[in-house]
Structure 1
Amino acid sequence: MTTLPLLSAHVLLPLYALTLLTAVTVVAATRRSWRWVAVAVVVGALLGTLLSWFVGDVLDVLDIPPTWVDRIWTGVVCALLGVAVVGFVRGRRPARAVAVLLVPLALVSGGLAVNRDAGLFPTIADALGESHVPPLRLPTDAHPGPRPTDAVSWRPPRDLPAHGRYGSVRIPGAVSHFHARPALVWLPPAALVEHAPELPVVVMLSGQGPGAAPANIIEAGRMVARLDAIARRHRGLAPIVVMPDQLAEATNNPMCVDGPLGNSATYLTRDVPAWVHAHLHAATGGTDWAISGFSQGGTCALQLGAGRPDRFGSWIDVSGQIGPVLRDRGETVSRGFRGDDAAYEAAQPLRVLAERAPYRDSAAFVAAGADDSRYGPVVPRVVAAARAAGVAVTERVVEDGGHDWHTAGVALAEGVVWFMHRTHLAR
């Protein structure tokens, strides 16, 4: 039951049909009160529109504005609830029973419609915070031995696997003492054979918010299928992709700095690379490492790409913010920087770019959805600042994309290909 696909039309369309049929049944059972039904529909739709505006735009609960799908479905759900109220108050006993049934059907239909628009929870297990990602089975020759072949000159063997391998791992915060949840790792086919080549690494971060976890990248972003497709086009070659937890918990936001909310920066720049080098045939130089992410993870990519070019010579920022932030500047300084305004200013990546310029060996891939009204306008500001600092920048706007996992999946995968050209894995 927990594997039920919540984004599938085969699941959603029958649910919508049942909800509509239930609503029609309630209306038919209260046909003598049709004026009340009409009023309830109009008032419910208006209240839903106001609710969407107030919660999404005024309170900014999710830190992103509602899409038109969110606004329409909020109005539809409230209109259906209005019909249910009329049916319960004005109808007889059978109509009341159907009206009661309409309430959960309306709420579930609306919730799943919004979920499909965002692409966040593909299954019930994902919505419950469960992950079915198995522990990673490391390649048998992953531990130190003779120096591996350079990836550029490597030739695939006949027994090259058709797909990469992914799984969960524990990356301890030995230096940072950061309490991270399990990370995910994807290994390309080239990493799974004897005498595997030394491969570049992409550290890929999810966003922050309800349900946020490294598994979002592979489940909502469909990254495993995308990475396998990339590897097939390049003789089994692709970077090793490590998806660590930079949050500690879904609603926590350490902002990829070291501070009272957790030493996230040290975890990503020291603990994660140390684990990778100890367990995998990975390149060691900063030019062969990229930091990437979506939303809050994109902000982290911007911060660490600007602040640690020695560790991450490339960065992929998809729909990130202009810099680390919580609800507002006051809360950010107070909770994230112990009230130290100077420390907050010093952590702003555009300022870091200007102060550390010129960046002679850094490159950036900066992207957002064409319909992302909140974070889309950040892209040209980041691009301009990075180019002014000497960073080689590629800008990408994802057509028909908002602040969602459709945009994230497309842009993060394109960023991996861009990085492969930079590291000569792709020809």
Structure 2
Amino acid sequence: MALSLVDGILPVLALALGAASLLWLGIAGRRLGLRRILVYAVVAAVCTALLYVLAEVIFHWWNASLPRTLYLYSALAILGLQLASGLMAAPGTPLSRRVAGIAAGLGILLGLACTVNLAYNQYPTVGSLLNPPTATDDPIPAPADAGADRPAASESSWSPPSDMPGEGTVYRDEIPATASGYASNTALIYLPPAYLADPGAVSLPVLVLIHGQPGSPNDWLISGRIAEMMDDFAARHAGLAPVVVMPDASNASNPDWPLCMDTSVSDSATYLARDLPAWVQQQLGAGTSGAHQWAIAGYSFGGTCAVQLAANHPDVYPTFLDIAGENQPTDADGQQALLDTYFGGDKAAFAEQNAVDRFHRMAFPDLAGIVVVGREDKVYAPEGRQVYEAARAAGADVQFQELPGGHSWQVWRAGLENNLDWLCSRLGILEP
């Protein structure tokens, strides 16, 4: 289904239903008495405050980028659900009013879910919610034989066969940590139509995409609609698109996520800059013509990661796309906690690998990148500008882009899609 959950009539109806349900419960709830309603209001406030403490002080489920209005909506939803329960439990309540109370409670939950989804654009369509795209467990097809006279794939060198598939395919596979010892969950790999053709395109370029925190490679598939995005690009370019590799950046769900650096927690930088490229070149025959065929991109945590990899391994990733990343890796318990956990308290060891510090110390004339931020993102937008200014001062060829929206998929997906032509020019598919 292509019905949108982030614009158009459906979210308007969901929000209207939630508001109407709360209004009806407020009117009907007068029979419960003012004292009970005041108790419900206090309980709603206390529960919301407890949610804040659990989410942002104790467990760090999310950070300051969360729209604060969601706490207000949560409080209203808790109040409404209490009113619904009170009305249904009141002595002498007729069956029709009990049914209406259940329906109103469901309407409030639907409205709350809609406000959360509008804040992050996690599920852009009805189809992405009810029938999300999935990857296949089929074996990945062997790459095309390069032969002596077959150059790396580009629009100028590639002629698609008549029976080329119309769409690419997303596969699951394990990328071994031969050099790094990094523990990893399963990666996702998108192979474009040109790869799947017979004969297939030779040495396609590679785009490595890093997800956010919390998150997994599936977020690129479901919320980012990466297969649809790449298929649309391929349809305009004779079936050509990058091979897209979406690794697990959580260190197999380690409570201390890696920083895309080599630390005492894990050698995630070595995994992403050495193990992953070696596996892709050997198993997929992609990115074999040189570093100019490789780019790294990500959103939020993944954007920070992309900059770290580009600054520490420009010989592997000379092209990067930082979408709403931070100005440096952070820890919810503060910077000293990060230093203690990952670097044994050694600030110099952190600065040795931190991208902005490296930009201040070194020149990067061969590095190119784009920093994308949401115009309404009050947390990450200023930090993104700091990264941009540091990279530009270091001689990198960088751009800074502001898009409508906050810290959400509205920006994250558009940040990649809007820059696909630039990426593929850098990667060699399109003529510069």
TM-score normalised over the length of structure 1: 0.84
The residue number in structure 2 matching 1:246 is 249
Question: How big is the alpha-carbon RMSD for the aligned residues of Structure 1 and Structure 2?
Answer: 3.7
Specify which of 192, 195, 198 is matched with residue 191 of structure 1: 195
Report the CA distance between 1:122 and its aligned residue.
Answer: 6.6
| Residue 344 (structure 2) pairs with residue 345 (structure 1) | no
Structure 2 Cα separation of the partners of residues 298 and 225 of structure 1: 21
Specify which of 213, 217, 228 is matched with residue 231 of structure 2: 228
Alignment check: 8 A CA contact 2:297 2:306 kept:
yes
* Partner amino acid, structure 2, of 1:386: A
Query: Mean alpha-carbon deviation: is it higher for 295-304 or for 116-125?
Result: 116-125
C-alpha deviations, 1:29-80, integer Å up to 9, x for none?
5443464577568667766876677667777640233226524422431331
* Partner amino acid, structure 1, of 2:31: R
| Residue 406 (structure 2) pairs with residue 402 (structure 1) | yes
The residue number in structure 2 matching 1:273 is 277
* Partner amino acid, structure 1, of 2:306: A
The residue number in structure 2 matching 1:115 is 117
Report the CA distance between 1:232 and its aligned residue.
Answer: 2.1
* Partner amino acid, structure 2, of 1:415: N
| Residue 309 (structure 2) pairs with residue 304 (structure 1) | yes
The residue number in structure 2 matching 1:77 is 77
Alignment check: 8 A CA contact 1:40 1:79 kept:
no
The residue number in structure 1 matching 2:397 is 392
Specify which of 286, 290, 300 is matched with residue 295 of structure 2: 290
- Closer, same or farther: CA 195–224 of 1 in aligned 2, 3 Å: closer
What is the aligned-residue identity percentage?
A: 30
- Closer, same or farther: CA 296–354 of 1 in aligned 2, 3 Å: same
* Partner amino acid, structure 1, of 2:403: V
The residue number in structure 1 matching 2:327 is 322
Question: Number of paired residues?
Answer: 420
Structure 2 Cα separation of the partners of residues 362 and 154 of structure 1: 26
- Closer, same or farther: CA 350–117 of 1 in aligned 2, 3 Å: same
Query: Mean alpha-carbon deviation: is it higher for 44-53 or for 218-227?
Result: 44-53
* Partner amino acid, structure 1, of 2:396: V
Q: Provide structure 1 residue ranges, at least 5 long, that are not aligned to the other structure.
A: none
Alignment check: 8 A CA contact 1:57 1:65 kept:
no
TM-score normalised over the length of structure 2: 0.83
| Residue 360 (structure 2) pairs with residue 354 (structure 1) | yes
Structure 2 Cα separation of the partners of residues 177 and 409 of structure 1: 31
- Closer, same or farther: CA 170–349 of 1 in aligned 2, 3 Å: same
- Closer, same or farther: CA 145–385 of 1 in aligned 2, 3 Å: same
Structure 2 Cα separation of the partners of residues 354 and 21 of structure 1: 55
What SS does structure 1 have at the residue aligned with 2:392? helix
Report the CA distance between 1:243 and its aligned residue.
Answer: 0.7
Q: Provide structure 2 residue ranges, at least 5 long, that are not aligned to the other structure.
A: none
Report the CA distance between 1:340 and its aligned residue.
Answer: 2.6
Alignment check: 8 A CA contact 2:144 2:202 kept:
no
Report the CA distance between 1:239 and its aligned residue.
Answer: 1.6
Structure 2 Cα separation of the partners of residues 295 and 148 of structure 1: 39
